[in-house]
Amino acid sequence: MALLSVLTPVLAVVLCLVIGFMLVRSRETETTSTPPGKTEGAKKADFRPWVDQDLQDDTEITAKEEEDGDWADSHEEEDLLHVPYSPPRYPEETMLQRSKDLYTLMNQRRSVRFISPEPVPREVIDNVIRTAPSGAHTEPWTFVVVSDPDTKHQIRQIVEEEEEVNYRQRMGDKWVNDLAKLKTNWIKDYLDVAPYLVLVFKQTYGILPNDKKRTHYYNEISVSISCGILLAALQNVGLVTVTSTPLNCGPQLRILLKRPANEKLLMLLPVGYPASDATVPDLKRKPLDDIMVHI
């Protein structure tokens, strides 16, 4: 009994130390696995295995990023000259007709996966790409136009390898089933066949002639808008494409095409004339009242 009375306080101390150690380890694990300001539940909800982990919306430059590089201050850049701007103004009847004509043209646009190998004039592609607008003309993008057959085939191999994993593992049964009616899969013949592949890279920051980094505010929004204008410009000249977002292919394609680390792949567009036997799903637009509200 005497021995037990001596050991009891010792055992209590040891037990307290073990419990304290376990609590500290638990908190450390929470700190490292859950970002500040987020709960564990939010962390799980944010995890989406089908999202390209290389392509994050990083339009805001964090304090850490500013410390990591030599960033240019706004006062280091030249002052902007403001010039008069007088776009054409049309009579109301002309405005109405032009709006109808553009709607008719764009209403005919479809995603086409059957593309002809027939050559397309390079100058047409050049003009289509330079159409895109951007905030403050920062043009935070690089359009990589690929016509070399070997490079196109390497791109296809990379995309199909990742897409097969997407379909079989990452996307989940519901997404795969939802795509079944569109008859799509991981086989991308058009990446070999189309005369051009246009890969749109967003620049998370720019690099000035003096090698300083330039902040590209809202770069993802600007590049996304440019892609929409690009689709309209292709439709305007009678060419077709399919908006392809090759998930988890960005790093491999960036290395293949020798693009710098500040560029992230946003979209891949096969471009050409439609094949003579091309077909598209018979989809209908929503009524205007379903997508617009007047207040």
With a cut of 60, say whether residue 35 has pLDDT above it. no
With a cut of 90, say whether residue 36 has pLDDT above it. no
Cα separation, 11 vs 9, whole angstroms: 5
Cα separation, 193 vs 112, whole angstroms: 13
Query: What confidence tens digit (pLDDT) does each residue in 176-190 have?
Result: 676 767 777 777 899
Residue 159, class by beta-carbon neighbours within 10 Å (0-12 exposed, 13-18 middle, 19+ buried)?
buried
SS3 content of the chain, % helix, strand, coil (to 5): 45, 15, 40
Q: Assess contact for 243 and 231: CB atoms under 8 A.
A: yes
Q: Does an H or E element contain 234, and which?
A: helix 219-236
Candidate from 65-79, 104-118, 159-173 with smallest mean pLDDT: 65-79
pLDDT in the model for residue 144: 97
Q: Assess contact for 50 and 178: CB atoms under 8 A.
A: no
Average pLDDT taken over every residue of the chain: 79
What confidence category does residue 60 fall into, taking pLDDT thresholds of 50, 70 and 90? very low
With a cut of 50, say whether residue 37 has pLDDT above it. no
Cα separation, 20 vs 56, whole angstroms: 38
With a cut of 90, say whether residue 239 has pLDDT above it. yes
With a cut of 60, say whether residue 10 has pLDDT above it. no
With a cut of 60, say whether residue 157 has pLDDT above it. yes
Cα separation, 197 vs 179, whole angstroms: 23
Percent of the chain with pLDDT over 70: 71
Coil, strand or helix: which one is 109? coil
With a cut of 70, say whether residue 62 has pLDDT above it. no
For residue 262, report the phi and psi dihedrals to the nearest 5 degrees: -80, 0
Amino acid at 264: K
Backbone CA torsion sign across 162, 247, 146, 125: positive
How many Cα atoms are found within 13 Å in the side-chain-facing hemisphere of 231? 19
The reported pTM is 0.74
Cα separation, 48 vs 52, whole angstroms: 9
With a cut of 90, say whether residue 127 has pLDDT above it. yes
CA nearest to 201, candidates 222, 215, 229: 222
List b or e across 10-39, with b for residues whose CB sees 16 or more CB atoms inside 10 angstroms.
eeeeeeeeeeeeeeeeeeeeeeeeeeeeee
Q: Could you tell me how far CA 168 lies from the centroid of its own chain?
A: 22
pLDDT in the model for residue 160: 87
pLDDT in the model for residue 47: 44
Candidate from 140-149, 164-173, 224-233 with smallest mean pLDDT: 164-173
Average pLDDT over residues 50-78: 53
Percent of the chain with pLDDT over 90: 44
With a cut of 90, say whether residue 70 has pLDDT above it. no
Q: Assess contact for 262 and 142: CB atoms under 8 A.
A: no
Tokens matching residue 92? 């109301």
Please, which residues have CB within 8 angstroms of residue 276's CB and are 6 or more apart in sequence? 116
Average pLDDT over residues 4-11: 53
Average pLDDT over residues 87-113: 95
pLDDT in the model for residue 293: 95
Query: What confidence tens digit (pLDDT) does each residue in 264-289 have?
Result: 999 999 999 999 999 988 888 899 99
Could you tell me the end-to-end alpha-carbon distance of the chain, in angstroms, rounded to an integer?
86
pLDDT in the model for residue 216: 83
pLDDT in the model for residue 32: 42
